[in-house]
Amino acid sequence: MPRIGVLFLGAFLCLAGCRSKEEVKFTSWAPEPSAKPLSGSFSRLVQIGEAVEQEARSKAFYKGKPTPPITTRTSFFGKEKKQANAIIGANKAALISLAESKIEMQFQPLGLGDPPIYLRGIRLIGESILWDLEDALASQNLDLAIQRCGQLTRLGSQLLGGGGYEAALGISLVDRARATLAPALGQLGAGQLGVLAKQVSSAIASRPALTACLKNEAANMLMALQQAQDLAQKRDFKKLEEQLGKSAHDEVALLDSVSRDLSKVANVFDWIGEDIRGRSKWHIEQMEHPNSDLNPPELKSRKNWRVMYRYFASNLDSLAPYVKKCAARTQLFMLECYLRQKVKLKTPLPISLAAFSAQAVRDPFTGKPFFYQAGEGEFKVYSAGSDGIDDGGESNESFESPDLVLESR
């Protein structure tokens, strides 16, 4: 055969061989991160938080040596509170003023990135507002306590327009403010109860849809999965372990052990990604149309990869009930204030909750109005809780099971 024929034959055999061993295709889970500039109220929120964080870092020295900034502390005593307030300065009033308007959150998925640094500054300001609330209650300055509770509830509610990190901070601020003031509701006069009810009602009205943070966190989970898959596809397992942390060493090593066959690697990520999509859809639908008879999608059994799965796919399993509990108690807080006001004024209690807006009385756990009972100067209003069953308002020391109630009871 002429040489040219041999070359063509060789090329043909090569192409045939290449076709018989197809290139492994990896699923695309998320687009490239966006670099859109921040704007409006959200840009201002970030500026305030970062300003506090930068000031905290500039003061984080002890005997000339750098120390962790005060924004990383989880407990504060008198000295630390004074230091924190000095660092916060005018940013506290700026954040309170910003929260009075509506903060338009501009969520951008982080993937494997660290939590947004501005949240550390916002958290510290939130702590300071909570200290004001506690001090006001201790000194019986109930008007100031009401004001601070309303401010924290509004700020925290608007943070639910972000992803998991923002929502977790927002829920913490709302819950702690309410749990601090709720046991003192009996001390409030009728006028004060009305003011508090209006402030909480306004916060609820400014709150984004409860599905917003779930959708955003689902996008964040898929972004993290995409970034991890990209590293695994390149077999850069050292970088992958750096991103996931040392606790993921065994799982990354397991992934490395099968990486000679990229189809196995792709299969692992497909298993995780498909579950994220299915489970996220279920949680979002349950938030919109609760049905306690429906169970989440069953996770296909792959015991060797369950730990790896939890790095990416379990966020909504904890976030969704956290959002529901906060939303339910915040709404019960508002209703209880209005109903207590009627008792104080000795006016007839409503026979139903029909006088309130549908959004205010909707139980996030059932999609139906809260359970309500009223008698002569007495009432009971509560949520069915996670099981969706009416247990007559009975609850435990955590106020959430079997029925979920306001902390004041």
Quick one: 254 and 133 in the same domain? no
CB 406 within 8 A of CB 332: yes
Predicted pLDDT of residue 20: 38
Pair 109, 233 in one domain: no
CB 244 within 8 Å of CB 321:
no
**Pair 192, 260 in one domain:** no
pLDDT along the chain (409 residues), means of 10: 38 39 84 84 97 97 91 95 98 97 92 94 98 98 98 98 97 98 96 98 95 97 96 95 92 94 94 96 96 87 86 94 97 97 96 92 96 92 94 90 88
Could you tell me if residue 338 is inside a domain?
A: no
pTM attached to this predicted model:
0.92
Tokens 């049905």 correspond to 291
Residue 409, domain member (yes or no): no
Count how many domains the chain has: 2
Q: Is residue 383 part of a domain?
A: no
Q: Do 64 and 133 reside in the same domain of the chain?
A: yes
Asked if 268 contacts 233 with a C-beta cutoff of 8 angstroms, the reply is: no
Which amino acid does the sequence have at 81? K
Structure-token match 């502390």, residue found = 73
* 187/408 Cα distance (integer angstroms): 12
**For residues 7 and 285, what is the distance between their CA atoms, to the nearest angstrom?**
60
List the beta strands (DSSP E) in 20-131: 61-62, 65-66
Helix (H) or strand (E) holding 382: strand 379-382
367 domain-assigned: no
Residues 238 and 225 in one domain: yes
Task: Specify the pLDDT at position 22.
Answer: 60
Q: Are 115 and 184 in a shared domain?
A: yes
Q: Do 158 and 62 share a structural domain?
A: yes
Verify that 267 and 183 share a domain, yes or no: no
Query: Among the three residues 210, 241, 262, which one is the final residue of a domain in this structure?
Result: 210
Any idea how long the chain is? 409
Which of 186, 210, 234 represents a domain boundary (last residue)? 210
Residue 7 has a pLDDT of: 34
Q: What is the pLDDT of residue 303?
A: 78
Residue 8 is predicted with a pLDDT of 35
Q: What residues contact residue 235 under an 8 Å CB cut-off, 6+ apart?
A: 256, 259
Residue 49 token pair = 């938080």
Residue 30 belongs to a domain: no
What is the Cα–Cα distance from 344 to 346, expressed in whole angstroms?
Answer: 5
Greatest distance between any 2 Cα atoms in the chain: 109
Q: Is residue 83 part of a domain?
A: yes
Question: Which residue segment(s) compose the domain that 204 sits in?
Answer: 40-210
Burial (Cβ within 10 Å: 0-12, 13-18, ≥19) of residue 258: middle
Q: Are residues 59 and 202 in the same domain?
A: yes
How many Cα atoms within 13 Å fall on the side-chain side of residue 5?
2
In a domain, 364, yes or no: no
Q: Residue 171: enclosing H or E segment and its boundaries?
A: helix 164-181
Question: Is 86 within the bounds of a domain?
Answer: yes
What pLDDT does 9 receive? Answer: 36
The per-residue pLDDT for 3 is 37
Say yes or no: 154 and 283 in one domain.
Answer: no
**Do 180 and 253 sit in the same domain of this protein?**
no
Question: In this structure, are 44 and 181 located in the same domain?
Answer: yes
Final residue of a structural domain among 284, 304, 319: 319
